[in-house]
Amino acid sequence: MGPKKVLFCTDFSENSRPAWQHAVEYAQCFGAQLIILHVLDYKDFPGYVDWIEKLREILQEHEQACDLRIQDMAKEAAKQVNDVKAFCRMGDTAQMIVNVAKEESVDMIVMGTHGHTGVKHLVMGSVARSVLKMAHLPVLIVQGPTEEGETYGRAK
């Protein structure tokens, strides 16, 4: 029995594109609902914490831009998938992904990874790794382009 609801998480980067393709294909093959999520993480805006009003303006602008981009993705997916839902949330990225997965009763999470390795990976942490630890359901993590410029083992 395949998934009935697939949650695709995006940061709108090129690294998330391969995961996007997999999520759409899974939803299409299984006739599943595709839920597209982008999380605005307030930790991505360092330096503005002391300027609350400026931070609110920046977050509001980002949220509006996110809404436009996520709706474009939903329209693109709707060409191949019958049931598409898309939205933005604000908060800690990994925790919000897990929360949305629970709220929406998804069967599978699909997300990309930036392909960081070694010390860089340990220092920067990994949203994908955190989601994998916290989510109690299947998580498909799709490798994005690596630091060496390869995608899926092929040179660019």
Q: Name 83's Cβ contacts closer than 8 Å, sequence gap at least 6.
A: 27, 32, 33, 34
How many other C-beta atoms lie within 10 A of the C-beta of residue 64? 11
Q: Are 71 and 86 in contact (CB under 8 A)?
A: yes
Report pLDDT digits (tens) over 91-150: 899 999 999 999 999 999 999 886 555 444 443 348 888 998 999 999 998 887 665 554
Q: Which domains does the chain have, with CATH numbers?
A: 5-155 (3.40.50.620)
pTM of the complete model: 0.80
